[in-house]
Amino acid sequence: MLNALIAQLRRFRHSTNGALTVEFVIYAPLLLWLFAAIYTYFDAFRQDAVNLKAAYTISDLVSRETAELNETYIDSMHEMSKLLIRADSSSSLRITVVRWDEADNRYYVDWSKVRGTAFIEWTDATISSVNENLPTVPDQERVILVETRNEVDPAFNVGLPSMNLNNFVFTRPRFAPQVLFADGKGNSNSHNDGSMKL
């Protein structure tokens, strides 16, 4: 009887009936998780690239302005950024014009405008916190700083946490020495420091 049982176990071990089904049951969850993880990580990298391109696009548009900007223009830039990035996630935008003063060895804020909830407007007192991220420029040169933040939740739960995608880009004004904000509605600083003719 023991020999018959051992013979049955050997036949069972060498049998290939149903092997494909068993292998599928073992490997299918792993393959599905792998496909979900690849998609989720690819989507996160794609979203980061889209956010960066949106920030550069806004920065480039503002740098080409020769007329004074106003609140409606800033609103339209925020709406455009939401169109360029994922519309189902929260996004914020901060546009700031900063000026380098060689004598004081620091940046000053000409004006700063925020849309969304992630940022506050830069002031002369707070802009120094990002000095190391700003470029080296000549005395009285202005730089347009565009910052975006987009909250992204992963498509699938594969170990990737929710992320805030932050972008920090700067551009020089292209066709005018500075980009003005209408009616002094930005920061209280004067746009004309006496070094340039408007």
Query: What digits encode the pLDDT tens for the residues 94-133?
Result: 999 999 999 999 999 999 999 999 899 999 999 999 988 9
Please tell me the distance from the alpha carbon of residue 142 to that of residue 95, in angstroms, as a whole number.
13
Backbone dihedral angles phi then psi of residue 187, each to the nearest 5 degrees:
-65, 165
- The confidence score (pLDDT) of residue 19 equals 67
- The confidence score (pLDDT) of residue 101 equals 93
Q: Closest Cα to residue 191, out of 144, 128, 137?
A: 144
Count Cβ atoms below 10 Å from residue 71 Cβ, excluding itself: 13
pTM: 0.76
Average pLDDT over residues 147-154: 88
- The confidence score (pLDDT) of residue 193 equals 46
Buried b (16+ CB within 10 A) or exposed e, 73-109: bbeebbeebbebbbeeeebbbbbbbbbbeeeeeebbb
- The confidence score (pLDDT) of residue 74 equals 94
Which percentage of the chain shows pLDDT scores above 70? 89
Which range among 2-6, 55-59, 72-76, 101-105 shows the weakest confidence by mean pLDDT? Answer: 2-6
Q: Check: CB of residue 189 under 8 Å from CB of residue 98.
A: no
User: Residue 176: pLDDT band by 50, 70, 90 thresholds?
Assistant: confident
Q: Does residue 185 register a pLDDT over 60?
A: no
- The confidence score (pLDDT) of residue 187 equals 46
